[in-house]
Amino acid sequence: MRTPLIAANWKMNKTTVETENFIRSFLPLIKGTTGVDIIIAPPFTSLLSAAILIRATGVRLAAQNVFYEEKGAFTGEVSPVMLLDTGCSFVIIGHSERRQYFSETDEIVNKKIRTVRKNGLEVILCIGESLKEREDNKTFEVLDRQLSGSLDNITLDGITIAYEPIWAIGTGKTATPGQANEAHSFIRKWLDKKYGDIACKTRILYGGSVTPENVDSLMAEPEVDGALVGGASLKPDSFAKIVTGATKK
């Protein structure tokens, strides 16, 4: 039985003060909640403040990005060692916005995962197709390519997969529960073929306009193990409803 995982990706939102206010409001709303793992991924500038406030609460901290070297002359980048120092235990890697706006390839994603796992951080690996790719019936082809490139010569331990159809991210459009489960089933079979029994223990999250209103129907699907939440995670009450909705799995 895979424990549901709900992760908040705040993207480029919230100052340090706003982060602190969110956490102080959010924690009482989920007090006593069990049966679900919770992750918050604030911007780099708020990681340390968030780490202090969620210490000993069970909520875990993630970074939204990372560089693939541990140190050196890489102006503006943040290493896995630095993330560990702030209290992170997870890193989101390969988000479609990183691929689209910053030209991250599967090869770069692979290098990041290698360095992150070497340093003991867990990974949320994002994959997903564009609207044109779905309309051209290339969803599975895209997922196969991204999985193959991103996970080349990498063990599955410490890896969570997030299926995020690009056409559903921040658009208000959401894959139907059936569409999500179909993609997750393909991913599960792909992992099983490559890794064997550990694939059944790997969590596969859905991301793409997840809200308190649709989380129940998504979580009802057998292969949906949680959600990577964007806009709906920016308000404490909204994110808390998604978290508690996931406990019904």
pLDDT digits (tens, 9 = 90+) for 61-71: 999 999 999 99
pLDDT digits (tens, 9 = 90+) for 31-79: 999 999 999 999 999 999 999 999 999 999 999 999 999 999 999 999 9
**What's the pLDDT score for residue 167?**
85
The residues carrying an active-site annotation are 95, 164
CATH code (residue 175): 3.20.20.70
Q: How many independent structural domains does the chain possess?
A: 1
Vertex 171: Cα angle to 168 and 174 (nearest 5): 40
Residue-level length of the chain: 249
Contact assessment for residue 239 and residue 14, using Cβ atoms and an 8 Å cutoff? no
**What's the pLDDT score for residue 218?**
94
d(CA 49, CA 86) in angstroms, rounded, equals: 9
How do strand 122-127 and strand 204-207 relate by DSSP bridges?
unpaired
**What's the pLDDT score for residue 248?**
67
Domain region containing 224: 5-246
**What's the pLDDT score for residue 28?**
98
d(CA 125, CA 161) in angstroms, rounded, equals: 5
**What's the pLDDT score for residue 246?**
86
**What's the pLDDT score for residue 170?**
72
d(CA 205, CA 225) in angstroms, rounded, equals: 5
pLDDT in tens, the chain (249 residues): 799 999 999 999 999 999 999 999 999 999 999 999 999 999 999 999 999 999 999 999 999 999 999 999 999 999 999 999 999 999 999 999 999 999 999 999 999 999 999 999 999 999 999 989 998 999 999 999 999 999 999 999 999 999 999 887 777 777 899 999 999 999 999 999 999 999 999 999 999 889 999 999 999 999 999 999 999 999 999 999 999 988 866
Check: pTM over 0.85? Answer yes or no: yes
d(CA 22, CA 177) in angstroms, rounded, equals: 29
* Closest listed residue to residue 109, CA positions, set 54, 68, 137, 139: 68
**What's the pLDDT score for residue 171?**
75
For 35, counting Cβ atoms within 10 Å of its Cβ (0-12 exposed, 13-18 middle, 19+ buried), the class is: exposed
